Amino acid sequence: MKMNKKLLDQAFQKIEKEIEDEELIRRKREQLKELYLPLSKEELLDILGLTVKQDDTNKLITFLCCLSAYTRNNQFNISFNAPSSTGKSYIPIEIASFFSKEDVIKVGYCSPTAFFHDKGTFIKDLEGYYVDLERKILIFLDQPHTLLLQHLRPLLSHDEKEICIKITDKSQKYGLKTKKVIIRGYPSVIFCSAGLKIDEQEATRFLLLSPETTQEKIREGILEALKKGADPEIYFEELNNNPKRRLLIERIKAIKEENIKKIKLHNLDKIQERFFSMHKVLKPRHQRDIKRLLSLIKSLTLLNLWYRQTEELDVILASDEDIEEGFRLWEEISFSQELNLPPYIYQVFKEVILFLYQEKQAGLTRKEIMQGYLRIYNRPVAEWQLRREILPMLEMAGLIVQEQDPEDKRNKLIIPVYPTTQSTISKPENNVDWMVG
């Protein structure tokens, strides 16, 4: 009986401690609620815009991608594909500066073996490496080795929380030797590449983005560079002391420490109905797209978690506002995702090829497209890039056909074609806007 009473007392003490801990957490959250007021999209963009000019959709999605690292399994991946000097690596680098350095892994070009050696811990019993990417933000600043991408595919698609792969290691003493690599966790992954051609297996695992190249953005970027270059010390001092920026950095730390396990959604019927209305003809990739849409919504929820609380301490509930904002973001980028094209490629199709075709009312040669590109954008496009990357991707998306020139069989004529999916807008006759999604 004495032993039973002792065990009973211990059980009651444990329960009392859990109640005390729970009350302490709730009191702390009420204090944080007073400190971190609800943050709207406009307020967030204003803070991010201190260094990243224009590009509102891109910088917001990049921020949410980084923030999704602090969810349990709602991380998503993005890929910036655009020509050099357009800011594809600048955006993620600047956005990642709001997050703890220990959580951000920046990688230049590297081979698969180098990546695992550098980022992993060698375990003798395992005869291989253990790589922990849980709650990490992984940024590839250059196109990674294709074999590394292949190794990471199960991780990028969230097939398993922990995956085992084999690599070959070479040494002078033993020659080639097979080693295991255990990769754990779902990181938020961002690729930046000047290469425009994307393997379909990678394309369906990423949100495809391209930085804006408008005159206004370029002008603001130049002014920011002048301001930074004039006196870097003063520039960074003012930036780091900006109260809104500092508060956002502290807010992100607080979000991480909350360690939210689950983000719930309500009104699933409404979400389902709206998604199906956007995608009349369903494709296999939509099974992944719906997950990305939900990840956007849940990242928005996490941003204001103190106002999305439930009775459970480690569970929050998305609001109608989060769902609406998530759909608005998705609608801005979904059209190019539908075509498996970076927005830059679709922009070239719409603003150059389609425009020139309407002018000529006949098929276009590659030379004519290159000349039109230079006239419209005031910069050249490489012939090899047009031939090997841009035109094949547009052809694969069903936006153009290439036919032999009847007057010169050595040349091909590029002809825009109308989309075959019902997800696009019906085309008005003789209207260049027939393809605006």
Answer whether residue 50 is part of any domain.
no
CA 25 to CA 33: how far, in whole Å? 12
Of 404, 399, 403, nearest to 416 by C-alpha is 399
Give 257-326 as a DSSP string: HH---EEE---HHHHHHHHHHH-SS--TTHHHHHHHHHHHHHHHHHHTGGGSB-SSTTEEE--HHHHHHH
CATH number at 189 reads 3.40.50.300
Do 327 and 351 fall into the same domain?
no
pLDDT of amino acid 7? 57
One domain for residues 300 and 354: no
337, 352, 374 — which closes off a domain? 337
| Listed residues 337, 363, 381: the one ending a domain | 337
Tell me: the pLDDT tens digits for 300-327? Answer: 999 999 999 888 888 999 999 999 999 9
User: Tell me, what's the pLDDT at 427?
Assistant: 38
Q: Do the beta carbons of residue 370 and residue 383 sit within 8 Å? A: yes
15 or 137: which carries more pLDDT confidence? 137
178 part of a folded domain: yes
What is the pLDDT, as a whole number, of residue 373?
A: 95
Confidence class of residue 429 from pLDDT cuts 50, 70 and 90? very low
Residues 81 and 200 occupy one common structural domain = yes
Tell whether 49 is covered by a domain.
no
Range of the domain at 363: 343-435
Question: Do both 201 and 69 map to the same domain?
Answer: yes
| Lowest-confidence pick of 53-62, 63-72, 169-178, 234-243 | 169-178
pLDDT at 19 over 70: no
- Residue 48 inside a domain? The answer is no
Q: What average pLDDT does the segment 180-208 reach?
A: 82
Q: At what angle do helices 243-258 and 41-48 cross, to 10 degrees?
A: 120
pLDDT at position 22 over 90: no
User: Both 188 and 228 in a single domain?
Assistant: no
Asked if the structure places residue 324 within a domain, the reply is yes
- Residues 288, 414, single domain; the answer is no
407 pLDDT exceeds 70? yes
Residue 116, in any domain of the structure: yes
Number of structural domains the chain divides into: 4
Position 11 scores a pLDDT of: 54
Q: How confident is the model at residue 170 (pLDDT cuts 50, 70, 90)?
A: low
Using a cut of 0.85, tell me whether the model's pTM lies above it. yes
Shared domain check, 168 and 60? yes
CA gap 389, 196 in Å, rounded: 6
Residue 309 burial (CB count, 10 A): 15
Please indicate, yes or no, whether residues 379 and 425 belong to a single structural domain of this protein.
yes
Q: Mark whether 229 and 159 lie in a shared domain.
A: no
218-255 residue pLDDT tens: 899 899 999 999 999 999 999 999 999 999 999 999 99
Q: Which of 312, 337, 362 is the last residue of a domain?
A: 337
Note the pLDDT of residue 431.
40
Distance set, CA 375 to CA 88, 150, 191, 378, 383 (Å): 23, 39, 30, 6, 15
* 96 and 194 share one domain: yes
Q: Is the pLDDT of residue 394 over 60?
A: yes
**Same domain, residue pair 75 and 61:** yes
Q: Does residue 359 have a pLDDT over 50?
A: yes
